[in-house]
Structure 1
Amino acid sequence: MLKNAHLNPNTGKPWRVGSLFAGCGGFDVGVEQAGMDIVWANDINPDACETYRKNIGPIIEGDVHEIDLDTLEPIDILLAGFPCQPFSNAGSRKGTGDDRGQLYKSTYKFIEHFQPQAVIYENVRGFLSFKSENGKLADEIKDTLENKYGYHCIYKLLNLSHFGVPQNRIRVVMVALRDPSYLEHAYPDITVDKDLSILTTLDGITSALPNHNERMKLNPQALHFGSMIPEGGSWKSLEYDVLPERWKKIRDNMAKYHYPNFFRRYSRHDIMGTITAAFKPENAAVWHPVHGQIYSVREIARFQTFPDDFVFYGRSIKSRYQQIGNAVPPYFAKQLIERVAACLSKIPHDILEKKFPSSCGLNVNKPVSKQLDMIKSLSKL
């Protein structure tokens, strides 16, 4: 981290951060690791709030619309990872037709009230494909931040494996600053010197670590077929005759079903796929490449870069998987918040010059589908 970038140069104290839709606290762990202060946080999910409270500290549990802003301390930076399910391929895909898809609007009253120096939004890549009444939703938010609230705003599609997160997790990150000259410096440098393979990521995990003995219970059919998937394979590795009838229908017309790759078991040398809240073999790689079992809560937390002493709580094991899947990886969050703070501290531009090509932040004006080959090639760096 750049020296003292975590300190507000006007006060000499750490930057003050407010966190909306904080979940179990992935982004907020990164903020604390960067030496900044979480002044207040909010989430509506009671399980996530329990985890947050027992690991990080106080959190306002409840509906974001019901928060009395006058009771909150002032902030310098606002974080808002509003719910991704309405925009995610693994979620409802209802977009703004889902009540949760309107929650981005709730952030505006916090911006009006606190006038933070920076605003950071994070969401799934499917967010870029959704439309509003005035065009692309991402552009509507950008225009609102710029034309109504006086920020300068940029958003990019990033593969977080480029920044040392051991999974191919593709997310939209939007940053709004007051000084337009710093926008292109608002994203962290690419990381190319870490072994992100699955077995390396999981090295050193033992039953002594919290949550490692917690695993989701799958139905007997899922366990049966999962046991037959070879390392590096998927349901496509199975002989046609052993498939259930519904899978045979998909195999008979793969194009109709968009060539699904469910029941996947990555190789030990692969980078893990996206950790999802819906931790099911139909939409996530749930099986350990070497051991005949699914990943534990602790192993999933490793892929999301949570510290090993961060303990997950909640009413069920399923809830703990969901909390982790919904979180922003702390390792990336730390890098991002450090870079944004450096911009707010007005670190000279030449010190903040990128050490990676601008192509690592994908061109949001081109269709996402045409850029996925670039994502895949860059993730192999």
Structure 2
Amino acid sequence: MTLNLIDLFSGAGGLTEGFSTHNEFNILGHVEKDYSASLTLKVRETFHYLKKKKKLKVYRDYLNNKIDLDTLFKHVPSSILDKVINEEISQNTLTKIFEELDSKIQNNKVHGIIGGPPCQAYSTIGRAINIKKKESDERIYLYKFYIKFLEKYNPDFFIFENVKGLLSFKDTNGKLLLPQIKRDFEKSGYKIKYEVINTKFFDVAQSRERIIIFGSKKEFNDFPTLFFNFLNNKKSSKIPTVHEAFCGLPNLKNGEINNNYTTEKNKYINKYIRTTRNLPLTQNIARPHNERDLKIYKLVSFAKQSGINLKYNELEQSLKTHKHDDKFLDRYKALKWDEPAHTIVAHIAKDGHHYIHPDIRQNRSITVREAARLQGFPDDFYFEQSRTAAFTQIGNAVPPILSQKFSETIFEIYNNLF
């Protein structure tokens, strides 16, 4: 049985990746407003197509800069690339998006819709700043567009992912938004259940708490409860560490590039990260840093390996550049080898101060590839178009390893019940 999905607010495709790796699921279309992320989605669709056709040499040539993007895309039917709809979901674009999706869906049944609207509006980070623009922040009610897709395509189930801050977020009337979202989903014919999931318990080398809302048509009464029961049975007894996730990556100094694997491997890398043979390492480029930051990085990383989170106000005066050293005390943060990473967020696109490499000798912030591994992306996943765009896509993504657990869970339930 093949289950057809629509992917909304797709980003780079972290949520769909776990479904794309299973032949039992078919992605009918992605909708994503960001151009760079849309290109990443097209490249990923190309990868899966070429892998299925045993033509990965073409993809390898692209990664090795032997062919350009246009040449890569010429090896793929337009119907594959056209799955990606580069549009912002809004009242003005809804009819156009529906028309494009209808042309791809044709007479196929849509079994599921997956995705999560941009989370910045609900996040506790920057909430004090965002409150000033809450009245005009359209992101707050993007979930209502999600419901329009449910009403039009009538899927059996949906997965809605967002930040934990949604639990405490209040709307423009000062009322908690989540109960309203729940009521609106139920009015559209769905029974829902939600839980806060920490990805570190699901084989992701990162502590990342997200709220997962799972809904199903009311005639599938037990589906939401079964989803979380089956999912929680997939929790791992061992939490992966930064050390495990970085295995096989070469040493780098700040400003250096090294896309050559070492000979090291481990079970974690073999299972989740290096899942395709004979492809090169990519996007393993270290940012350049100024001398002041390098001194701070070394101090913060050294303290972290001793279990201490060095605060900004504890730095010597000569290293401080901000007058108010009583604010943003965790301006610099290091990773620790024997723990999962703290949450990777899109701010990593602006600087790497929150993600200092645990190896004091390397003394730098992490690369795109290292961030991707901590977010659970396989090494064969390539992010378009720039380092900044890649970091943004990674920080906003659902970890593919977690979405793989979602896909396994859903397929098991379908096999058992339907």
Counterparts in 2 of 1:71 and 1:313: CA distance versus 1, 3 Å: closer
Does residue 191 (structure 1) correspond to residue 235 (structure 2)? The answer is: yes
| 1:31 pairs with 2:19 | yes
Q: Aligned ranges for residues 64-83 of structure 1 at < 5 Å?
A: 64-65=89-90, 66=93, 67-72=96-101, 73=105, 74-83=109-118
When residues 317 and 125 of structure 1 are mapped into structure 2, their CA distance, relative to the original with a 3 A threshold, is same
Tell me how far apart the structure 2 counterparts of residues 307 and 241 of structure 1 sit (CA, whole Å).
42
For the pair 1:246 / 2:322, whether they are aligned, the reply is yes
SS of the equivalent of 2:322 reads: helix
Q: Which amino acid aligns with 1:69?
A: F
Letter in 1 for 2:227: A
Q: In structure 2, how many angstroms separate the alpha carbons of the residues matched to 1:337 and 1:263?
A: 36
Q: Assess if the C-alpha contact under 8 Å between 2:15 and 2:115 holds in 1.
A: no
Rounded to whole Å, the distance in 2 between the matches of 1:249 and 1:310 is 40
Q: CA deviation at 1:44?
A: 0.5
CA apart distance, 1:101: 2.3
Distance 1:53 1:158 in 2: 29
Q: Distance in 2 between matches of 1:201 and 1:247?
A: 37
Q: Are 2:406 and 1:336 equivalent residues in the alignment?
A: yes
Cα distance in 1 for partners of 2:384, 2:140 equals 26
Aligned to 2:119: 84
Q: How many residues align?
A: 327
Q: Which moved more, 1:149-158 or 1:193-202?
A: 193-202
Q: CA deviation at 1:240?
A: 4.5
Match for 1:136 among 143, 157, 176? 176
Match of 1:264 among 329, 333, 336: 333
Deviation at 1:245, TM superposition (A): 6.3
Q: Which has the higher helix share?
A: 2
Give the direction of change, closer, same or farther, for the CA distance of 1:182–1:161 in structure 2 (3 Å limit): same
Q: Would you say 1:287 and 2:348 are equivalent positions?
A: no
Corresponding residue SS for 1:153: strand
Contact map agreement 2:185 2:192 (CA 8 A) in 1: yes
Whether the 8 Å CA contact 2:331–2:353 is kept in 1: the answer is yes
1:284 deviates by 6.4
Tell me, in whole angstroms, the C-alpha distance in 2 between the residues paired with 1:337 and 1:54.
21
Name the CA distance, whole Å, in 1 between partners of 2:358 and 2:135: 38
Q: Does the Cα contact within 8 Å between 2:204 and 2:402 map onto a contact in 1?
A: yes
Distance 1:69 1:202, change over 3 A: same
Q: What is the CA–CA distance in structure 2 between the aligned matches of 1:118 and 1:341, rounded to whole Å?
A: 12
The alpha-carbon deviation at position 97 of structure 1 amounts to 4.4
* 1:271-295: CA deviation from partner (whole Å, max 9, x where unpaired): 1100111017989631110121111
- 5+ residue gaps, structure 2: 47-80, 251-258, 261-279
CA distance in 1 between partners of 2:199 and 2:38 (Å)? 25
Show the counterpart of 1:61.
86
Show the 5 A alignment for 1:99-178.
99-132=138-171, 133=173, 135-146=175-186, 148-178=187-217
**Which one of the candidate residues 362, 374, 381 is aligned to 1:303?**
374
Residue 186 of structure 1, CA deviation: 1.1
